[in-house]
Chain A
Amino acid sequence: MNPDLKHPSLGVDEDAFLAGITRALADRGDSIDPPALDAARVVAPDENLVERFIEMAAAAGMKPTRFDTLSAATENLLEILHGLSARTVLLPPEPWPGRDDFAAAVAKAGIASADVLDPDAAFDVDVGITGVRMAIAETGSLVLDSGPDRARLASLAVPVHFAVLREDRIVADLLDWIADGDADPPANVVLITGPSKTADIEMNLVTGVHGPGEVHIFLLPAHY
């Protein structure tokens, strides 16, 4: 991808390095087959995944809310933005269900959208709004991909993150998420399970360390 790299590989020769490991394994002993993984499953696909997801996401410190209609969701967004006295949002152009409605509602309320091409935008705005590729009921996690028209920092460097998720995108178990995205993953995938937090100082929980201190999840019905 980057043909201008000055040093393709520094350090020891790969073949020599690996030959050293092969020598160390000269006596490999009986072959150990990779195990079957199904016994590690926690959540069955036929459980109520929306309920489990909401419970786990809330337990992780995020704020999940279920909406029947898109307009109810955008209305609620504006209420929260008003409560936060938010003046700027970062809303990357990636397409996701309902994105244009959210963008229109924000514009109508007089809240400015930051320039997505400005690399510092995510550090300066009050709020970031993104879609979510999928979610995991087992742990209450959101799965976000990098890709065209998406900004990694829009869910990370902002103080408050709104994540919009369609209910049918929830999978049961960590094992299921990985089966879905395996062949050729995007450059960056993140599982988000809570607001940014630390307990380094005497085990006191503090949120909003480097990433968002608040994560709002808007769940939309499958037909959107």
Chain B
Amino acid sequence: MNVSLKVEIQKTAAAAWARPGVIASTTRATSKQDHARRNALVELGTPDETRRIAARIKDHTLQNLDTYLKQLAEAVRARGGVVHWASTHQQARDIVHRIAVDCDAHTIVKSKSMTSEEIDLTAYLEDAGLEVVETDLGEYIVQIAKDHPSHIVTPIIHKSKLDVARLFADVLGIDYTEDPRELTLAARKVLREKFRRCDMGICGVNFAVAETGTVVLVTNEGNGRLCTSRPKVVVALMGIEKVIPTMRDLAVFLKLLAKSATGQRLTVYTSLITGPRRPDDLDGPDEFHLVILDGNRTNILASQFRETLRCIRCGACLNTCPVYRNIGGHAYKSVYPGPIGKLISPLLNSYDQYQELPQSSSLCGACLDACPVMIDIPAMLIEMRNDLRRKGYLPWSHRVAFRAWSVAMRSPWLYRVGAAMYRRFVDAGSRDGWNPKLPGPLAGWTDHRDVPAMAERSFREQWKTLEDA
């Protein structure tokens, strides 16, 4: 068993609880967004029908992913863009670095991209001596605090305004203020200077439309649009699963994405970028590069977990998840936390690294209800637990215990003796029908909760008494 990850998860969750406000902020923000999502989706009239359509578009696209990626690449090139293919994280980082060197970039402005977090792009470019500035307010705060995002849509959900106030006073040297408006404007001032003198922009990709070679980017602050309009060179980074066939398909996803993420009808800026500027445009980039990353996704495509590639990274499953709300995003030890993170973190990385994550779910199913593309996360989690067992990841103690259970269940005699011994020894310390402490390897279960004690007389014994009477 990968004890270290399990311990890390528990330690991080405990640390989040110990710091005043972290879990409270997370719970408040996620509840608010979850509520807003429900209200917004009602406007679609038949939201489940729209979700079904979106899921089917993704399934169709994934089934023909080779065809659609080729179409996308050809369309991007036809509009003067350059397409680069990266099988690994390292290849993707090298490509972006090489583009930066070739265009003699010094200051790179970057808008939020989960794929860039996945390949740890910013740190890599900084180590190579480039100035990289995160321009989404939350990501900027994470960057200057040397922290990590704890949510895929709202990265500083774990921070209070006091945290930000202290940070800005220390790092930016402004007068201490807790007013969110003043704090935001202080960041704006710094970032606008970066925008004025940036020479390269990096952005993520929410959707890439194969028929036109259009890259779609949504942001509320406008930083995504600035990062792709102001610098002379723009690099967009996407995983292979971001492609969709047509512009009309895009309409369906736009109807769902913002509503599922924050409860907005539409994100403030939906930017559609099709190649570099045209000759008569007054502004816009001279070069447009699209980096398409595999990063283990092809293996997912070939597996029984293909459905997870439908994900549009809206964060609805995080907001609605009782586990996420109570342990915070950092506890998952992954770029992708929450229910979908429990699936794609092991898949994008390895079972060795993340085998504990699929176990940390009560399988309540709230994530499936929230998912705009109807990924059956609970079913996938059960399948992954099975897959882990088949591949020998189950610890020996579990294997022995379940083997013993299986034998006992098939023998009435063993079952009776086992139950009697359980009552005699395990339930010895129980009070009022609850057992506060299980022995030995089962003790972890009762660290944070009691277990119901067995009835004093079994059903069979009671039945026998009734029959005799």
Q: Do A and B assemble together? A: yes
Contacts A6-B102, A202-B25 given; does A146 touch B278 at CB 8 Å: yes
Contacts of B64 in A (CB 8 A): 25
* Given A11-B84, A200-B138, residue A28 in contact with residue B63 (CB < 8 A): yes
- Contacts A34-B245, A39-B53, A209-B188 given; does A148 touch B63 at CB 8 Å: no
A8, B245: Cα distance in complex, Å: 25
Pick the most buried of A42, A201, A210: most chain B CB atoms within 10 A of its CB.
Answer: A210
Residue in B221, B230, B287 whose beta carbon sits within 8 Å of that of A197 in the complex: B221
Contact A149 B280 (CB under 8 A): yes
CA distance A22 to B87 in the complex (A): 14
In the docked arrangement, what's the CA distance between A19 and B212, Å? Answer: 23
Across the interface, which residues of A come within 8 angstroms of B248, CB to CB?
37, 175, 178-179, 182
B265, A56: Cβ atoms closer than 8 Å: yes
Task: Tell me if B284 and A17 are in contact (CB < 8 A).
Answer: no
CB distance from A210 to the nearest CB of B (A): 4
CA distance in complex: A138, B283 (Å): 30
Asked if B66 contacts A21 (CB within 8 A), the reply is: yes
Whether the pair B83, A33 counts as a contact (CB closer than 8 A) is no
Q: Are B280 and A18 in contact (CB under 8 A)?
A: no
A8 to B83 Cα, complex, angstroms:
8
Residue of A nearest to B103 (CB): A6
Instruction: Write the chain A residue with the least CB distance to B165.
Output: A201
B107 part of interface (Cβ distance < 8 Å): no
The stretch among B39-47, B327-335, B405-413 that forms the contact with chain A is B39-47
A1-B266 in contact (CB<8A): no
Bound CA span A8–B28, Å:
48
Q: Which of A29, A34, A92, A153 has the most CB of B within 10 A?
A: A34
In the complex, the answer to whether B63 meets A12 with C-beta atoms within 8 Å is: no
A109 lies within 8 A of chain B by Cβ: no
Indicate if the CB atoms of A25 and B73 lie closer than 8 Å: no
Scoring B residues 107 to 134 as 1 if CB is less than 8 Å from chain A, else 0, what string do you get? 0000000000000000000000000000
Q: Is the Cβ of A141 less than 8 Å from the Cβ of B281? A: no
Instruction: Determine if B428 is an interface residue (Cβ-Cβ < 8 Å).
Output: no
Contact A190 to B225, CB < 8 A, known contacts A175-B251, A210-B191? yes
**In the complex, what's the smallest C-beta–C-beta distance from A140 to chain B, in angstroms?**
7
A104 within 8 A of B: no
8 Å CB contact of A1 from B50, B98, B223, B276 = B276
Interface size on B, residues (CB 8 A): 115
> Considering the complex, which residues of chain B in the window 41-70 have a beta carbon less than 8 Å from any beta carbon of chain A?
43-46, 49-50, 52-53, 56-57, 59-60, 63-66, 69-70
| B45 and A42 form a contact (CB under 8 A) | yes
Chain A contacts with B in 148-186, Cβ cutoff 8 A: 148-153, 156-157, 173-175, 177-179, 181-182, 184-186
* B452 interface residue per 8 A CB criterion: no
B60 touches A190 (CB 8 A): no
Q: Does B389 contact A (CB under 8 A)?
A: no
- Of residues 185 through 223 on chain A, the ones whose CB sits less than 8 Å from some CB of chain B are 185-204, 206, 208-212
Cβ–Cβ contact A188 & B102, under 8 A: no
Per the bound structure, the CA–CA distance linking A196 and B302 in Å amounts to 41
Interface string of B208-220 (1 = CB under 8 A from A): 0001101000001
Distance between Cα atoms of A209 and B136 in the complex (Å): 9
Min CB–CB distance A187 → chain B (angstroms): 5
Q: Any chain B CB within 8 A of the CB of A9?
A: yes
Q: State the B residues within 8 Å of A (CB).
A: 25, 28-29, 32, 43-46, 49-50, 52-53, 56-57, 59-60, 63-66, 69-70, 73, 79-80, 82-87, 91-92, 94-95, 98-99, 102, 135-138, 141, 154-156, 159-161, 164, 180-181, 183-185, 187-188, 191-192, 195-196, 211-212, 214, 220-223, 225-226, 228-230, 240, 245-252, 254-255, 262, 264-284, 286-287, 291-292, 294, 298-299, 301-302
Question: Which A residues fall within an 8 A CB radius of B?
Answer: 1-2, 5-14, 17-26, 28-29, 31-37, 39-40, 42, 56, 59-60, 92, 116-117, 119-120, 123, 138-141, 146-153, 156-157, 173-175, 177-179, 181-182, 184-204, 206, 208-212
**Top 9 closest A-B pairs, CB basis?**
A1-B80, A211-B222, A148-B280, A24-B302, A204-B180, A200-B138, A209-B221, A191-B270, A174-B251
17 contacts between A and B (CB under 8 A): A6-B102, A10-B84, A10-B94, A11-B84, A11-B291, A18-B70, A25-B302, A146-B277, A150-B281, A150-B282, A152-B282, A156-B225, A184-B212, A192-B269, A200-B136, A208-B188, A209-B188
